[in-house]
Amino acid sequence: MVGFLAGQATQTSVNTWYASLKKPFFNPPNWLFAPIWTLLYLMMGIAVGRVWNYGIHHRWVKTAIYHFGFQLLVNGLWSLVFFGLKNPIGAMVVILILFFLIIRTIQQFRTVDLLATRLLYPYLIWVCFATFLNLGIIFLNFF
């Protein structure tokens, strides 16, 4: 659901405002974002499902699920700030918070299931890349 809402916010400005921005040389083509995010959300869903499968009545499972849910909300917030509000600087703050929340979620997942933990690493790597992309857009368009 978060992915769908973030996608809706993105669609409102990806062909207009976003297209007009100067982007760094390492910016991937626009068509690549949807399949990558689809794969990442699929892997995230499998990961959280594996953790959930251990039983929500366990304290460490509950804690891991809470961390996952919170970072997922912040993930959706990034799209709303960047695309919806057209605010790359505000989005930079959000994505830095997201990066640390993903690390914390990975730490929590590690206490429950190693495969679930590993399924989150591509997400962390992509968000790291997206952070540099966001930063590049800021420098090229605001400085």
Q: Which pLDDT does position 1 carry in this prediction?
A: 60
Measure the N-to-C terminal CA separation of the chain; round to a whole number of Å.
35
Nearest Cα neighbor of 24 from 123, 95, 130 is 130
Is a pLDDT exceeding 80 seen at residue 16?
A: yes
DSSP 8-state secondary structure symbol assigned to residue 97: H
Sign of CA dihedral 33, 38, 79, 89: negative
Query: Rounded to an integer, what distance in angstroms lies between the CA atom of residue 9 and that of residue 71?
Result: 18
Fill in the DSSP letter of residue 24: -
The overall pTM is greater than 0.85: yes
Q: How far is CA 6 from CA 37, 65, 109, 137, in A?
A: 11, 20, 24, 19
pLDDT at 8: 66
Q: What mean pLDDT value characterizes the chain? A: 93
Nearest Cα to 113, choosing from 66, 70, 75, 65?
Answer: 65
pLDDT value at 11 more than 80: no
Q: What is the pLDDT of residues 41-83, one digit of tens each?
A: 999 999 999 999 998 889 999 999 999 999 999 999 999 999 9
| Better-scored residue on pLDDT, 6 or 111 | 111
pLDDT for 105: 98
* The pLDDT of residue 138: 98
